[in-house]
């Protein structure tokens, strides 16, 4: 009888342990840069979908609205509200750096993504190579943009690693090699379509000839193209972006946009959530990892449109 009681007690302990394990629920805060940015929205949707595959994790999405003060407050609040892990999509990496550093010091696991904030001991990152994202477009543009061309340039926020490194790639891979090309307009449009439209409206008023739009993301490129879509003067304009959004894929398919580098938000979301789970369960303690960035042109756009069709982003 004693042995039976012992077995029963052990079984009860095992059952209790199982119940505790099943009840474990890790809270993740995803602090998005700005949901008005089509890529940020794509990434947020991907993260919400991906976390459903993990019964022991939940995620809350917070929209920083491209405002450093709001983003920094979200990071502080996530620590105060005892989230187990924070995924930060920086608006301005250097502005967010001290808040991420403090979160790590407070014992919270942090992943920075799109773009990573480098050199924070104890934090992890999931990203793509922003230099190469722009460089694949710039190398193509070397062959495509005509001699003596006028171009306009749309930049992301100053201090954002992706914005700065993409612009650096265009400088080194294209502009330094093509002294014949003239930049007739260059502005920071903060990844925003409406801001890009306003700048493009000014540029077309001031210039009879614009041969190419060099944009650090698809959203701004799409905004610039919207302004000139019915103007025959610009029917042969070239346009380059980064991200591979659904809108950009359709613009490339229709011949209105030249190329983009795919930064697959589904892959980025899947990698972020997989890394988050590995960090939370102790499988790893730190990691920095990247996804690929293939060039998309009219020649291969059909295969990437299928990615968006599977997700429902393109009907």
pLDDT digits (tens, 9 = 90+) for 179-212: 999 999 999 999 999 999 999 999 999 999 999 9
Q: Can you tell me the mean pLDDT for 124-131? A: 96
- Interval 232-279: pLDDT, tens: 999 999 999 999 999 999 999 999 999 999 999 999 999 999 999 999
pLDDT at 213 over 70: yes
> Do the domains 25-127+265-290 and 130-262 sit in the same CATH topology, yes or no?
yes
* φ, ψ (nearest 5 deg) of residue 195: -65, -40
Share of the chain above pLDDT 70, in %: 93
Q: Lowest-confidence range among 21-25, 42-46, 68-72?
A: 21-25
Confidence tier at 302 by pLDDT (50, 70, 90): very high
Structure tokens at 305: 């449109």
Three state DSSP letters for the chain? CHHHHHHHHHHHHHHHHHHHHHHCCEEEEEEECCCCCHHHHHHHHHHHHHHCCCCCEEEEEEECCCCHHHHHHHHHHHHHCCCCEEEECCCCHHHHHHHHHHHHHCCCEEEEECCCCCCCCCCEEEEECHHHHHHHHHHHHHHHCCCCCEEEEEECCCCCHHHHHHHHHHHHHHHCCCCCCEEEEEEECCCCHHHHHHHHHHHHHHCCCCCEEEECCHHHHHHHHHHHCCCHHHCCCEEEEEECCHHHHHHHHCCCCCEEEECCHHHHHHHHHHHHHHHHCCCCCCCEEEECCCEECCCCHHHHHHHHHHHCCCC
Q: Can you tell me the mean pLDDT for 299-304? A: 97
Q: What is the pLDDT of residue 8?
A: 36
- Interval 54-100: pLDDT, tens: 999 999 999 999 999 999 999 999 999 999 999 999 999 999 999 99
Q: What is the pLDDT of residue 10?
A: 38
Q: What is the pLDDT of residue 312?
A: 85
pLDDT at 3 over 90: no
Q: Give me the architecture of the 130-262 domain, per CATH.
A: 3-Layer(aba) Sandwich (3.40)
Verdict on whether the full-model pTM lies above 0.85: no
Confidence tier at 23 by pLDDT (50, 70, 90): low
pLDDT at 160 over 80: yes
Confidence tier at 310 by pLDDT (50, 70, 90): confident
Q: Can you tell me the mean pLDDT for 293-302? A: 97
Q: Can you tell me the mean pLDDT for 121-130? A: 97
Q: What is the pLDDT of residue 311?
A: 80
Work out the mean pLDDT of the chain and round it to a whole number. 92
Q: What is the pLDDT of residue 27?
A: 98
Q: What is the pLDDT of residue 11?
A: 40
Q: Can you tell me the mean pLDDT for 279-285? A: 98
Q: What is the pLDDT of residue 91?
A: 92
Q: What is the pLDDT of residue 24?
A: 79
- Domain residue spans of the chain: 25-127+265-290, 130-262
Q: What is the pLDDT of residue 159?
A: 86
Domain 25-127+265-290 indexed as CATH 3.40.50.720? no
């Amino acid at each position: 009888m004693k042995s039976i009681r012992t077995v029963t007690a052990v079984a009860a302990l095992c059952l209790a342990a199982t119940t505790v394990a099943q009840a474990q629920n890790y809270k993740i805060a995803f602090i998005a840069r700005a949901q008005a940015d089509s890529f940020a929205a794509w990434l947020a949707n991907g993260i919400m979908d991906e976390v459903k595959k993990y019964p022991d994790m939940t995620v809350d999405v917070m929209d920083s609205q491209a405002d450093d003060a709001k983003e920094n407050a979200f990071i502080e609040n996530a620590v105060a509200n005892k989230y187990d892990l924070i995924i930060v999509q920086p608006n301005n990496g250097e502005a967010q750096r001290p808040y991420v550093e403090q979160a790590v010091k407070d014992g919270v696991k942090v992943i920075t993504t799109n773009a990573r904030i480098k050199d924070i001991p104890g934090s992890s990152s999931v990203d793509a190579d922003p230099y190469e994202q722009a460089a694949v477009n710039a190398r193509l543009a070397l062959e495509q943009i005509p001699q003596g061309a006028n171009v306009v340039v749309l930049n992301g926020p100053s201090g954002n690693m992706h914005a700065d490194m993409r612009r650096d790639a265009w400088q080194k891979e294209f502009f330094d090699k093509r002294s014949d090309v003239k930049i007739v307009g260059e502005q920071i449009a903060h990844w925003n379509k409406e801001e890009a439209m306003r700048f493009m409206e000014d540029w077309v008023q001031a210039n009879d000839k614009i041969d190419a739009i060099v944009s650090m993301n698809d959203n701004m490129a799409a905004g610039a193209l919207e302004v000139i879509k019915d103007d025959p003067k610009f029917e042969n304009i070239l346009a380059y972006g980064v991200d591979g959004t659904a809108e950009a894929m359709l613009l490339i398919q229709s011949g209105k946009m030249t190329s983009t580098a795919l930064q697959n938000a589904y892959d980025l979301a899947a990698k972020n959530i997989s890394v988050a789970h590995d960090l939370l369960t102790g499988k790893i303690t730190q990691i920095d990892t990247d996804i690929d960035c293939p060039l998309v042109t009219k020649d291969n756009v059909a295969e990437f449109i299928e990615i968006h069709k599977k997700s429902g982003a393109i009907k």
